[in-house]
Amino acid sequence: MPQVWFRPYVWMDYRLALLFTLLIPVILLIWAFVQKSDAIQRLLTIYLRVASLAAFTVYLFIGGLPISFISALMARILIPISLWFWVDLNDEIEYLPKSPLKLMFTSWRWAMTVYSVLGAISLLPFLSCTFSETAFKTPFCAVWREAPLMFKDYFHYNSKPGFLGFLGIIGLVIYVAYLSYFVFVKLGKHGRSATQ
């Protein structure tokens, strides 16, 4: 299969995603727990729930399911929303005393927002892969599957891609059901308050 010019950028995106969406937030969550910063803990817990869509997307890519492109785009859109949506948590965090934790959290939150917005914009041209039955047979679309397949080789080497894709679909269905419940039930009752 011929190489595409943007392949290094796709791999860089996966590396940045690992850093920004998983490693840094877990470190910040542990730090917030040690410092007993409830507002940052709550926001990071909400963030990790929302960001789980990115994990399901990896499994969808492993399974070779074209819906993974829409799932990836939705993760890039929902993640920054989850970081800024909660009025009560934003106020609590804003009025926290200055500290290294607050500085690191605020810096990460802004960096994550910029990264997600740029990532969503960069994914737009690839949405055409969603509507193609042979999407992953073209280098243009298949390049997005390379890193998830490497992840599979490291962590699920005995599993079939179809089974892992099935797990991704189950995760996606549960995620959509929970998101629908939140939007249509909880949001109407509690608004933009995370403490209800």
User: What's residue 12's pLDDT?
Assistant: 96
149-177: buried (b, 16+ CB within 10 Å) or exposed (e) per residue?
eebbeeeeeeeebeebbebbbebbeebee
Amino acid identity of residue 23, one-letter, is L
Integer Cα distance of 95 and 164 in angstroms: 44
pLDDT for res 115: 97
Q: For 13, what's the count of Cα atoms within 13 Å in the CB-facing half-sphere? A: 24
Per-residue pLDDT tens over the stretch 143-160:
999 999 999 999 999 999
* Whether the predicted model's global pTM rises above the 0.85 cut: yes
Contact 28, 44 (CB under 8 A): yes
Mean pLDDT of the chain: 93
pLDDT at 190: 79
Confidence tier at 120 by pLDDT (50, 70, 90): very high
Does the pLDDT value for residue 1 go beyond 60?
no
- Which tens digit of pLDDT belongs to each residue from 165-175? 999 999 999 99
Say what the alpha-carbon torsion angle 59, 60, 62, 63 is, to the nearest 10 degrees. Answer: 120
Mean pLDDT within 96-110: 96
Q: Which residue has the higher pLDDT, 196 or 165?
A: 165
Average pLDDT of the segment spanning 5-14: 94
